[in-house]
Amino acid sequence: MPAITTNDLKTGITLELDNALFQVLEFQHVKPGKGGAFVRTKLRNVRTGNVFDKTFNAGVRVEQAIIRREEMQFLYRDGDDYVFMNNESYEQMNVAPVALGDAADFIVEGMTAQVAFYGDEIISVEIPASVELNIADTEPGVQGDRVSGARKPATLETGRVIQVPLFVEIGDRVKVDTRNGDYITRV
């Protein structure tokens, strides 16, 4: 595994520390007036999802994990697992829901995703920043109830409940931000 210094850290890099994998979410180089420089980071444990802060002295060597990414298509659910197919080799593999994380709320059959591997272990599934989904259930908007910015709950075809404007109806197709689950626009 290649060793890099803490001065080379960038957002998104995956590190191997204490036999665990951590992704760098944020980093900041700090050079105080007195004493040596240091790097303040926010790390996410790739396997558990826990986020914590860690401070390194500047120039310290850390191990960078080699992550392989493959484009795969989601086919169907098999019990609790999600079945993906490699777009090049057509090989199918089951992915545990824990590897999908919040992406499980937005993934539909036929969608393409980036599957990240560390060795043979699937560590994450990344989907696009926004997806288009159908509204499966919502209450009708009340005539005359047109308060600016008013919202109502709506259930997506995947089962996720989001807040949408009053004019959105059952069967409408909406664009949703997958990072925070917010409604973007009606398609």
pLDDT tens across 18-59, in order? 888 898 889 998 888 888 889 899 998 887 778 889 998 888
130-186: which CATH architecture? Beta Barrel (2.40)
| Topology at the third CATH level for domain 3-64 | SH3 type barrels. (2.30.30)
CATH tag for 68-126 (out of 2.40.50.140, 2.60.120.10, 3.40.50.300, 3.40.50.150): 2.40.50.140
Q: What is the residue extent of each domain of the chain?
A: 3-64, 68-126, 130-186
Measured distance CA(63)–CA(174) in Å, rounded = 42
CA neighbours closer than 13 Å in the CB half-sphere of residue 98: 9
What are the phi and psi torsion angles at 142 (to 5°)? -85, 130
pLDDT tens across 65-107, in order? 888 889 999 999 888 889 999 988 989 988 888 788 788 888 9
**Which residue has better confidence, 6 or 53?**
53
Asked whether the domain spanning 130-186 has the same topology as the one spanning 3-64, the reply is no
Read off the pTM. 0.73
